A and B are shown apart, each in its own frame.
Chain A
Amino acid sequence: MKYITLDGNEAVARIAYKLSEVIAIYPITPSSPMGEWADEWASLGQPNLWGIVPQVVEMQSEGGAAGAIHGALQAGALATTFTASQGLLLMIPNMYKIAGELTPTVFHIAARAIAAQALSIFGDHQDVMAVRQTGWAMLASNSVQEAHDMALIAHAATLKARLPFLHFFDGFRTSHEVQKIALIEDDVLRAMIDDTLIAAHRARALSPDHPVLRGTAQNPDTYFQAREAVNPFYAACPQIVQATMDQFAALTGRQYKLYEYHGAPDAERVIVIMGSGAETVHETVDYLNARGEKLGVLKVRLYRPFVPALFTAALPKSVRAIAVLDRTKEPGAAGEPLYLDVVNALYETWEGAALPRVVGGRYGLSSKEFTPAMVKAVYENLAQAQPKNHFTVGILDDVSHTSLAFDPDFSIEPETTVRAVFYGLGADGTVGANKNSIKIIGENTDNYAQGYFVYDSKKSGSMTISHLRFGKSPIRSTYLITKANFVACHQPNFLERYDVLRDAVEGGTFLLNTPYSADEIWDRLPRRVQEQIIAKHLKFYVIDAYKVAAENGMKGRINTVMQVCFFAVANVLPREEAIAQIKRAIEKTYGKKGEEIVQMNLRAVDDTLERLHEVRVPERVTSTIELLPPLAGNPPEFVRNVLGEMIARRGDLLPVSAFPPDGTYPTGTAKYEKRNLALEIPVWEPDICIQCGKCAMVCPHAVIRIKAYRPELLAGAPPTFKATDAKDADWRGMKYTIQVSPEDCTGCGICVDVCPAKSKSAANLRALNMRPQPSLRESERANWEFFLSLPEVDRSLIKPTIIRQQQAQQPLFEFSGACSGCGETPYIKLATQLFGDRMIVANATGCSSIYGGNMPTTPWSVNAQGYGPAWSNSLFEDNAEFGFGIRVALDQHAAYARQLLRQLAGELGDLATAILEADQRDEAGIYAQRERVAALKARLQTLAHPEAQRLLAVADYLVKKTVWLIGGDGWAYDIGFGGLDHVLSSGRNVKVLVLDTEVYSNTGGQASKATPRGAVAKFAAGGKPAAKKDLGLIAMSYGNVYVARVAMGGRDEQTLRAFIEAEAYDGPALIIAYSHCIAHGINMMTAMHNQKAAVESGQWLLYRYNPDRAARGENPLQLDSRPPKLPVKTYLQMENRFKMLELSKPEVAQALFEEAQRDVNMRYALYEYLASRPVTIGSGAH
């Protein structure tokens, strides 16, 4: 038997790939890696079981993937796909078809929550439960091994049964958990897959050689009967699946049952469950039974077709009480689906004396922890005379009182298992090192190994927590470690924010990465840390990993260093052996990246051992350093009590009553979360500064602000507060300050990079220079607070078309969790500066919906008057339609308000006329209207008749509102293109901002139709062969759509003009904004240079197409790019996404780069022609 260490996604993908000919996919978390594995293997030419490389195709949506699979199946191929959540919902129409046509296929699902009151990427069964009615067989896996095994059983059984199979396993907990499993070899696959059944599938295919008709329309006379004709296949399916499981057992020794009971043969209390939670119940049953209980667990593997008789037969006859646990929520139902199935099964087939009592409960939604303590609580509930039904477990429900209480300290972790927890910083390589350690232990010892990784929802400065278990027995613990005998903190700053030793056990080991030596460290520790080290008698080790890494050329990446430390002190393996294994792993992992990389890692291994030191722990706590509060400033109660608890990582403890039931949250909350991420922050030099405003404009996190103000306001300024005379002639006599928020800055340095002002005597000194943050934190915090207390510049004094003035406008999008140096957020921020007080945002799912709307806080903010963007995310695919709907409703409200106003004109007199005839094309007009409407509302309060009250409810819509549809290229070019196209064609006044990163950034770099030719991306590993879609040209073809293509780093003033023109245009507008991205493989600090190069090479064309110009008889298209002056290749070589093609496939790169140059030349010629052609149309007679 060959053992291998991998995660659930890879375990499934290996089987699916081997047994498929066509794989159509669309990325969605947490299933994306399955498709990515398939794509990678195909790009490497790895064959399937029949010796041919499967076709792996990326579609424009999951609906598209399902359609493609349906087609491939109809053409007789073995086809599969991988998806989750909303993706699975988009497949439903095709799933009915595929089942209705009795077509064998397997869809592998990393089961995930559904977006309801909020989106969640995490695991539960809401998605698979939403397709249980489609006629598909449903097979559940509970662990990585089972996912590997059940994938094969599904592929084998579907061919026999002719029913399509949904094979599902828990998102993240199984899909991303790394486990040591027994690998299924090809000979087992061959033995399980019957060639005659494949031949039969092919024989049913559509072919002109034996033509048939399928997919007819039927009428009332026949549809019903025909629908019933499939019944025998459903009746036969369960036996086929069991026979397949038996065949699998004969080949591998691993026996599965459709309904598999584990526990005491005479158990009276039984839990029924599907998915990874079954492993925890199994483990808890063993533990409690060993202590005298008589408990059992029934694992449901085949959920559809559900066979009541077989289910009931699997229960011990002794059972008196059953708890059915559903990892889903069906509001308003009589019970959750599995519960109802069980109730029905017992009702129909129980033959014992008295029917056992059955209760249902919900657990584990959105990867909520499900622990032995909760299992114990469920069994204890069953032991009650009147057990609670329709309960929840794992939360505190103080609203509907559904929750079971449980003892959080109850633990069944065996002493023989090594349990290690690692706190890492996203970018430091901790997770990678831990995955590597698991492989080393799993594949080189007889230990079982498990790794599970908890990630942050922030994209910059994020914390990762790795949970690793090693032991001689199989590991079934599908929950986080709370009794750790090894805790490592890879980022010293975490100690002052989180209680990292909370989960350490007595006598455990604590490893800390710190710049302080073993002699110095004690006095630097927070009190809480000292207390726990002493109280728990922890062995304490320190290393300066950043220093060791930097000295070996691996600045910031401490993975190898910390991995060595772990093995050196955790005693999982003999030290020498562990080091030898690490070195072998380094050679294997980095060999292909070059000898230099191998050598620097090997050197780091040796250096580490010399620099790792044990700390002599004093006997007494001496520290007065306290943990930092989660929130700064003076937040409102809700923010403090709810959001603050989430930030402090205590969100699990919040009760149901803490939450708004409809998912509505306040904006303007990111400012309370001072994350202090920056090692260095920009420091302003007023004497060098030319006050151009570029730094504020490019700042992705809105931490650089500009104000001009009356000199007398400087009274009371903190001593280090900087101010100078405003240079702008319009602001003569005023003082001017550029202030940085030191605790919100992420330290990306883009501001410094774009700063055009240099010291006259030292060219390396600019008007902004990066300086270490810690020593500036206190003084700059005071300066920032003083700066905020200064009034915003009166907007009537700001000319919005001039950057240096415009940038004094207050951003209403600030301090987002986007990547440090993000290329998208400056555009969003710009829109909020210009129009934020009258803006409604429809935001497509993607990066911008995550950094915009992922709990706990939001960067969307409000101004001093309480105005600001209202924001919502509907879905990924429907954002254009969603925003369009908002526009239509606003227009309707405004029309209704105007109608009521006209009706009331007699009483309201001139005010009504003034409002009805108001010119709101510019900001002054809007502000005047806002005042008129305020007056109107005051008057309406005094009027008694119903029209006045109706008008009061809609009067605000008389003031102009601007609707912005924001999303990435995955939305605009792919999944949402149909809707976007329709909305643009509608002529309605919506503003579309496409943050074009040219790749699916949020899901990890899959190619979109915006990906340029030659770029390497997932699903374009060999370089994207096709050119980027010209979305702007398509939109221009309507003639009445304002279209602009912008790149802030290319020409910032053109960007600003485009935003202003787009908003002013009374119709649909589309802005396609070049957004550099971490997924480009670039230096984010100098990313604006990449934008510049993209523009100067002609790769990214700047233009504005304004239908208003056409109305004036001018050519509507203005080409804002000058003729390309830089070879495209020069730009391409600046970015790893292109560069890596040169390194992996040089010949392909050369050809594609040459084509890219031709694209540029032809595109420029085309646009030059379009921009210069005469616009008057002749009569036709020349």
Chain B
Amino acid sequence: MNLESLYMGLKLRSPLVASASPLSDNLDNIKRMEDAGAGAVVLYSLFEEQIRREREALYYYLLHGTESYAEALTYFPEPVTYHASPDQYLELIRKARESVSMPIIASLNGATLGGWTRFARNMAQAGAHALELNVYFIPTDPYLSSAEVEQTYLDILAAVKSVVDVPVAMKLSPYFTNMAYMARRLDETGADALVLFNRFYQPDINTETLEVTPNIVLSTSADLRLPLTWIGILYGRVRASLALTSGVHTGEDAVKAILAGASAVCMTSALLRHGIEHIRTVEDGLRAWMTQHEYESVQQMRGAVSQIHAEDPSAFERVQYMRAISEYKPTV
């Protein structure tokens, strides 16, 4: 049985990819991911604004209160170098490359052009096999048109592509007026893969303190549907590889993702919930299904139930939705 998958030109021993999460912030975990059968790892995201803010904060607090009172002209010793986040991150890429054989995909998260190109170049130079750009942009400006928002994505991609030779994946949110159009534009701009979909952090409200509180909700298998839909629709219509992220928790979820057309099946919540070794469980599920259904390779499976290959292409579209709604009957 051959689990190999070609994802944006990278040969993965398995389509199961450990997606960006805090789990990949140390080398031991990355090794465990490989041991558990991961085909690749997307390192935790380097947050472009966070780097900037961290440096500004460091600068501010090192200087705060200095040179104003004769007895305390400074408050801290001054180390020669600061390993601000990118340095640690780059070091992790280097070490990971030395320690594991699976591809290392570096992840960069941001919303503006800012330091993208510099960090992307650094990541590629440090040895990342590929980059994943997570353009996490929540437009709140009522005067910003959808065209301008979309252009930001394309600009960032083009800027990064112009400075690195390694493949570049775009991790996207589903909130585009026309996802297919956006996918085509990204494809044309040179995206080597589309990673569908990012789950936006949605803040909660604490009813006692009346404060907005950060609150991460892990995905469940139910979240698989949305990316599955779009992988299925886009499969065969874009040159870029497709990766499915959000909602993969079981072998069956992975099977569905591949059948829809995913070259890579990314997991975060499942690993946070069940541990890194859960990759093996999902792989076992995938293998069991393939055995049962007499598939020899993942390659053979990929896109078998995508829109272009599905028995009923309309199942991905509005007509199917109308049928589903009209046939839905409450059970009580």
Contact with A along B53-74 (1 / 0, CB 8 A): 0111111011111111111111
For A1019, the closest partner residue in chain B by CB is B77
Of the stretches A125-133, A455-463, A672-680, the one at the interface is A455-463
Give the complex CA separation of A459 and B73 in angstroms: 11
List of A residues within 8 angstroms of B62 by Cβ? 593, 1081, 1136, 1140
Could you tell me if B76 and A432 are in contact, using CB atoms closer than 8 angstroms?
Answer: no
Assess A1144 versus B64: contact at CB under 8 Å? Given A172-B70, A1005-B74.
no
Q: Which residues of the partner chain B approach A176 to less than 8 Å between Cβ atoms?
A: 70
Query: Which one of B52, B68, B76 lies within 8 Å of A1005 (CB-CB)?
Result: B76
Residues of chain B within 8 A (CB-CB) of A44 are 80
B118 within 8 Å of A (CB atoms)? yes
The prevalent SS among residues of A at the interface is mixed
The reply to whether B58 and A1139 form a contact with Cβ atoms under 8 Å apart is yes
CB atoms of B65 and A1078 under 8 A apart: yes
Provide the residues of chain B in CB contact with A426, threshold 8 Å: 65, 67-69
Q: Complex formed: what's the CA distance from A1001 to B66 in Å?
A: 12
| Pick from B52, B67, B78: contact of A596, CB under 8 Å | B52
Task: Check A1018 for interface membership: any CB of B closer than 8 A.
Answer: yes
**From residue 37 to 62 of chain B, which have CB atoms closer than 8 A to chain A?**
51-52, 54-59, 61-62
With contact pairs A427-B65, A464-B68, A1140-B82 given, residues A596 and B55 touching in the complex (Cβ less than 8 Å):
yes
Q: Which residue of A lies closest to B211 (CB)?
A: A763
- Per-position binary interface string of chain B over residues 128-152, scored 1 when its CB falls under 8 Å from any chain A CB and 0 otherwise: 0000000000000000000000000
The answer for the CA separation of A1095 and B210 in the assembled complex, in Å, is 23
Q: Please encode chain A, from 981 to 1008, with 1 for each CB lying within 8 Å of some chain B CB and 0 for all others.
A: 0000000000000000000011111000
A1018 near B82 with CB under 8 A, answer no
Cβ-defined contact, A1018 with B77, below 8 A: yes
- On chain A, the residues within 8 Å of B77 by CB distance are 36, 39-40, 43, 1016-1018, 1021
Whether A29 is near chain B, meaning CB under 8 Å from some CB there, is yes
Q: Which residue of B lies closest to A28 (CB)?
A: B71
**A594 part of interface (Cβ distance < 8 Å):** yes
Smallest beta-carbon distance A40→chain B, Å = 5
Q: How far is the CB of B60 from chain A (nearest CB, A)?
A: 8
A1144 touches B79 (CB 8 A): yes
Q: What are the residues of chain B within 8 A of A1016 when measuring CB–CB?
A: 76-77
In the complex, chain A residues 413-434 whose Cβ is within 8 Å of any chain B Cβ = 425-427, 429-432
Query: Known interface pairs A427-B65, A557-B63, A1078-B64. Does A1005 touch B72 (Cβ–Cβ under 8 Å)?
Result: yes
Judged by a CB distance under 8 angstroms, whether B215 is at the interface is no
List, in ascending order, chain B residues with CB within 8 A of A592's CB. Answer: 80-82
Complex contact B61–A1082 (CB within 8 A):
yes
Whether B66 lies near A432 (C-beta < 8 A) is yes
Q: Is the CB of B210 within 8 A of A1140?
A: no
- Interface residues in A931-955 by Cβ distance below 8 A to B read none
Q: Is there contact, CB below 8 Å, between A553 and B61?
A: no
Residues B210 and A1146 in contact, CB atoms below 8 Å apart:
no
Interface size on A, as a range, is: 35 or more
Which of B51, B55, B67 has the most C-beta atoms of chain A within 10 angstroms of its own C-beta?
B67
B304 CB, min distance to chain A CBs, angstroms = 46
B84 sits at the interface (CB 8 A):
yes
Q: Give the residues in chain B near A1004, CB-CB below 8 Å.
A: 71-75
B101 CB within 8 Å of chain A: no
| Complex Cα–Cα for A1079 and B56 (A) | 17
Contact A1144 B82 (CB under 8 A): yes
Q: Which residue of A lies closest to B80 (CB)?
A: A44
CA of A458 to CA of B71 in the docked complex: distance in angstroms? 11
> CB < 8 Å: which of A453, A597, A1081 contacts B61?
A1081
Chain A residue at smallest Cβ distance from B69: A459
Q: Does A385 contact B (CB under 8 A)?
A: no
Q: In the complex, which residue of chain A has the Cβ closest to the Cβ of B60?
A: A557
Write the nearest CB–CB distance from B90 to chain A, whole angstroms: 12
Residues of chain A in range 1088-1143 having any CB-CB distance to chain B below 8 Å: 1136-1137, 1139-1140, 1143
> Which chain A residues numbered 839 to 897 have a C-beta less than 8 Å away from chain B?
850
Query: Complex formed: what's the CA distance from A36 to B56 in Å?
Result: 25
Contact A1143 B73, beta carbon cutoff 8 Å: no
Let me know if A819 is at the binding interface, CB within 8 A. yes
Asked if B293 CB lies within 8 Å of chain A CBs, one says no
Report the minimal beta-carbon distance from A1085 to chain B, rounded to whole angstroms: 12
| Chain A residues closer than 8 Å to B56, beta-carbon distance | 553, 596-597
List of B residues within 8 angstroms of A1145 by Cβ: 79
> Considering the chains assembled together, what is the distance between the CA atoms of A242 and B63 in angstroms?
44
Q: Are A456 and B69 in contact (CB under 8 A)?
A: yes
A3 within 8 A of B: no
Query: How distant is the Cα of A1018 from the Cα of B66 in the complex, in angstroms?
Result: 14
A967 CB–B CB distance under 8 Å: no
C-alpha gap A597/B118 in the complex (Å):
15
- 1/0 per residue A149-183: CB within 8 Å of B? 00000000000000000000000100010000000
Q: Please judge, given known A-B contacts A596-B55, A1001-B72, A1021-B77, whether A432 and B83 are in contact too, CB under 8 Å.
A: no
CB distance from B219 to the nearest CB of A (A): 25
Q: How far is the CB of B49 from chain A (nearest CB, A)?
A: 10
Which of A427, A594, A763, A850 is B64 in contact with, Cβ under 8 Å?
A: A427
B residues less than 8 Å from A613 (CB atoms): none
**Contact status of A455 and B55, CB under 8 A, knowing A1143-B84, A1144-B79:** no
Residues of B within 8 A of A33 (CB): 73
Interface assignment of B88: CB less than 8 Å from any CB of chain A: yes
Residues on A with C-beta less than 8 A from B75 are 1004-1005, 1078-1079, 1081
Q: Which residues of B contact A819 (CB under 8 A)?
A: 65
- 13 sampled A-B residue pairs with Cβ under 8 A: A121-B70, A427-B68, A455-B68, A456-B69, A592-B81, A592-B82, A595-B118, A596-B115, A1002-B72, A1005-B76, A1137-B76, A1140-B62, A1144-B81
New contact pairs (4) apart from A44-B80, A462-B68, A594-B58, CB-CB < 8 Å: A121-B71, A176-B70, A426-B67, A1004-B73
